[in-house]
Structure 1
């Protein structure tokens, strides 16, 4: 954060001390600055009492004996990460805090809370994360308690390119208030680039929830700053590692209408460590052709100077490397509509026009909007202020760190299509496929996914369902199990359009099948016969054995498309359990929920 200059005549510090303090403040985040201010206030109060220094605490925390409960619901681990950072910062500031996953939290405890913070992501089109479903349903059911006296705040994570942006957090926030809770900090909705907003919200939480309670008299012991503030970190979203590409191979055979690439990145001496199920965050750049088209539509000079993400840059640089220009989000369209003063565009944003809005933005980008609704005289600086940061793209890692510690593999479908009269390119996929040369590097970091992990017991059987590029993490799973000498059986369901051109990693699967690591392999090539066959059809064909594996303790993993495939597979599993187990549909649904709660049914869908 920016430090104000300390003047000698207005400060008791000498020049050296002032310089040290200014240097420290420059290095602090808002959260850390809040902690230090409380620490110093508490220390100052403690110095007035002989022998009290050892028990000094941040002034805000002193006198509060009530626990801050931090409840999270996370699909990929981002919400859990924010919640964990808040817990660490709270404890470092002398605040008693506990962290709880919504999947493990006992709903009956809700009415006993005094200070409650919720960090929750929205999955897909407005749905709660898998692990949060039971808590979400309880909160909206008849058994939900009155929450009079409960102070709360909600941080919502989401992606504004989806129609129901941060829906889960919004609904939980409103429901907690309906039940009588007191909202002490307004809900904050975070887009995919959530770090700064989450950090500012964390600072507010530390300040508000540490306020002294009338009945409290505890003085927690002073602790040091969070370790994260003092020690070097592995590559992160904010500080990614530049990885060179070692291999870039098309997996499809000649004649395929798909373009899926196997990409290998050099991770030697990178500090990147991952486990099977994690994703790689790729920080891409926009296609040059997309930048040129937008500049032409805006009638702006690419050399114009603007204030970008980290200082003054050219407009062309900002559009190429720093901002999202290929996805129309509702927040952007809302702001742009005000400048365009277009009645048609304003009408499209009405609550009763959500389907029409979704139809309009599908397949269009910022260039289409600017061409259709031009804003004469719009400056480069004003336009840039409307944009959101270019978010990283996440790809399931297709290799095991234990098997290949110095390289990381991805399975990337290059996105290329024609829409509304223009050719379009996927941002990250074609960045990796086309625009990274031999001497270039790709900024990357590990996005850990604690909700998609191998079981601790190597003898646990696995059922893995991964059509298309969704098969990537299962290649990592099997590499890991081979490396560990795991004894559990492994069953893979894979699907693609054609056997001849689209059987990704066929050599690997067949080798593992021959060696006995892959116990069973069922494939569904949808276009190789008159009737389309998908992985859910293969599951139903093997219903008896699938249920037998489940009853024998197997874990089920699903990776791939959330809109259709994951729903169809979920329905197939429910039908299999009902049919083979002689259960009602409701009992089968409860069976699946129990598997989810036990971490035996895990999904990485997008």
Structure 2
């Protein structure tokens, strides 16, 4: 009969052990990693005799490093899954977000796994901008000792699919590193590629890393168990809709509105109850929703494919009517290259096939200008119901910045929604998720989950000033920021740059901002209404006009936030480069370094889409 192993002796005194236990209970993973390195450094400073007495002779292998860059959380989850698999196999590994990775350590790495999403057309996510720039720059070290693998997450509705992953994979090889497995390129059905990629990575890690002996594996028993969240993307919470109120063309004032001229956009203020869910969010986080595709769009797809919605289709173990697949399981608005490739073959469409050839021009314009229904109408073909379901991509979950602070609204989450409607190719078009949300009435239930955005948070130091740039619905998180700072009594100043097409119909939350100015919750407000005069004026122009003060605020420790469309984010960044160069006496390179430093310090954060 075997006996249980005796616990390893500890050299700590009772007080030391208690202090360490309290620290471990409260610290997050980043703090624990930092502390382990700090304590190891202290140990190395001991005399050789003391060090030999305090440690065993066997040296554990250098851990594998898993780095992730994530915009919406998918790459983070994939990296966390790989890290858990490595640890579960007894292999030493650490997990770091790209902007938290100490770049000076890259030259000493021996096994690196990089999981990174692509933002827009081939760009890195915001938390990996500094890492990508360093790797691509002159300061990047030669890496002959490094073995690596890259997993890219992307969206094939963009022409440069997984662009940043491809670039970094090639750059690591250029620096002399050895690729241990082929670049993984995951589309929206992430695990189709990511799961086998992780299994292959685990296999390579087993060959390259020997599990540390049991006597040298630190075993930590959590004092406060961290249960998995009750509600998630896979199991969303049914939130009750409390309010669905038009914002555009009206003045928002509590629960009442005053109509202005007919709006040129349909923007909604939505309030949802999270009561009883246990869900918690911070201003800057996003709310993910499970939407149903519009009935009119489903009918149009069935008509274009000449299929019967009642046809039962079995796919991936699920058996559902075709209409159900199209309503809740398949993406019907965003086009993607694999879908177009299948359509080109089925319709024998040579023109479309040529657009899909490497280096061909026009694909990006097609992907940006056509929805699925446009392509089905333009290149008609015979479809089988099962083949259509297999060809279409899984439905994309939509994320919306939360426009509230729980400290002010309690168990609620507020959203600012721009309802997409436009006419193209002879037909009316609708946004799938926004159109779905716009039709919901009070009392309806909406499946939701929280998607944290840890990089987009109000400063921990409440005395810091903040500058917020959020035109259109990009202002949503800043409503939450201002509420949060007011409720916590933050002493730092709040400066908002807001823009829209017209003052009368696009000034979202106008009354709230005016009230916040009067109460001292908002200290400065600069507005840009692009079409109320002959010359177009946007937020980047207002930033340049206030460039001296913007630079002074940043020099004195202010945090800068930008939220909205990708193109707007690029224009604002260009304006900031001009502002810093003009008011610092430096050049463009020095200005870029200044903004990069702000990003690394967490003082320049963007949420662009």
Q: Does 1:159 align with 2:164?
A: no
TM-score, L = length of structure 1: 0.85
| Corresponding residue for residue 260 of structure 1 | 267
Q: Does 1:502 align with 2:506?
A: yes
- Change in CA separation of 1:384 and 1:580 when aligned onto 2, cut-off 3 Å: same
Displacement of 1:322 in angstroms is 0.5
CA distance in 2, matches of 1:549, 1:143: 30
Equivalent pair of 1:308/1:318 in contact (CA under 8 Å): no
| Corresponding residue for residue 59 of structure 1 | none
Equivalent pair of 1:63/1:217 in contact (CA under 8 Å): no
Displacement of 1:213 in angstroms is 4.8
CA distance in 1, matches of 2:565, 2:315: 34
Q: Does 1:106 align with 2:102?
A: yes
Q: Does 1:466 align with 2:470?
A: yes
- Change in CA separation of 1:149 and 1:304 when aligned onto 2, cut-off 3 Å: same
Displacement of 1:173 in angstroms is 1.7
| Corresponding residue for residue 6 of structure 1 | none
Displacement of 1:337 in angstroms is 2.2
For 1:176-205, what per-residue CA distance to the aligned partner results, in whole angstroms no more than 9, with x for missing partners?
233333333322222234356434433433
CA distance in 1, matches of 2:408, 2:587: 44
Displacement of 1:279 in angstroms is 0.7
| Corresponding residue for residue 343 of structure 1 | 350
Which stretch of the first structure deviates more once superposed, 108-117 or 532-541?
Answer: 108-117
Equivalent pair of 2:91/2:211 in contact (CA under 8 Å): no
CA distance in 1, matches of 2:6, 2:391: 50
Number of residue pairs matched? 549
For 1:312-368, what per-residue CA distance to the aligned partner results, in whole angstroms no more than 9, with x for missing partners?
000011011110121211121123323333322211111232x31222233322222
Which stretch of the first structure deviates more once superposed, 63-72 or 418-427?
Answer: 63-72
CA distance in 2, matches of 1:514, 1:439: 34
CA distance in 1, matches of 2:201, 2:271: 42
1:417 to 422, 428, 432: 422
Equivalent pair of 1:64/1:211 in contact (CA under 8 Å): no
- Change in CA separation of 1:402 and 1:198 when aligned onto 2, cut-off 3 Å: farther
For 1:454-474, what per-residue CA distance to the aligned partner results, in whole angstroms no more than 9, with x for missing partners?
110011001111111000000
Task: Give unpaired runs (5+ residues) of structure 1.
Answer: 1-46, 56-61
For 1:382-414, what per-residue CA distance to the aligned partner results, in whole angstroms no more than 9, with x for missing partners?
111111110111111000122222111000001
For 1:564-594, what per-residue CA distance to the aligned partner results, in whole angstroms no more than 9, with x for missing partners?
x212211111111121222212211111111
| Corresponding residue for residue 476 of structure 1 | 480
Displacement of 1:238 in angstroms is 1.0
2:312 to 292, 298, 305: 305
Displacement of 1:425 in angstroms is 0.3
For 1:112-168, what per-residue CA distance to the aligned partner results, in whole angstroms no more than 9, with x for missing partners?
222111111111210112332333233234443343342222111222211111111
Alignment of 1:291-440 (within 5 A): 291-308=298-315, 311-353=318-360, 355-376=361-382, 378-434=383-439, 436-440=440-444
Displacement of 1:422 in angstroms is 0.8
CA distance in 1, matches of 2:82, 2:506: 45
TM-score, L = length of structure 2: 0.84
Equivalent pair of 2:66/2:113 in contact (CA under 8 Å): yes
Equivalent pair of 1:249/1:262 in contact (CA under 8 Å): yes
Equivalent pair of 1:151/1:182 in contact (CA under 8 Å): yes
Alignment of 1:233-272 (within 5 A): 233-253=229-249, 254-272=261-279
Q: Does the residue aligned with 2:598 lie in a helix, a strand or coil? A: helix
| Corresponding residue for residue 441 of structure 1 | 445
CA distance in 1, matches of 2:436, 2:78: 29
Alignment of 1:556-567 (within 5 A): 556-563=560-567, 565-567=568-570
1:539 to 543, 547, 550: 543
CA distance in 2, matches of 1:479, 1:521: 15
| Corresponding residue for residue 58 of structure 1 | none
Displacement of 1:450 in angstroms is 1.3
CA distance in 2, matches of 1:310, 1:444: 25
Which stretch of the first structure deviates more once superposed, 333-342 or 542-551?
Answer: 333-342
1:202 to 198, 201, 205: 198
Q: Does 1:573 align with 2:573?
A: no
Displacement of 1:212 in angstroms is 6.0
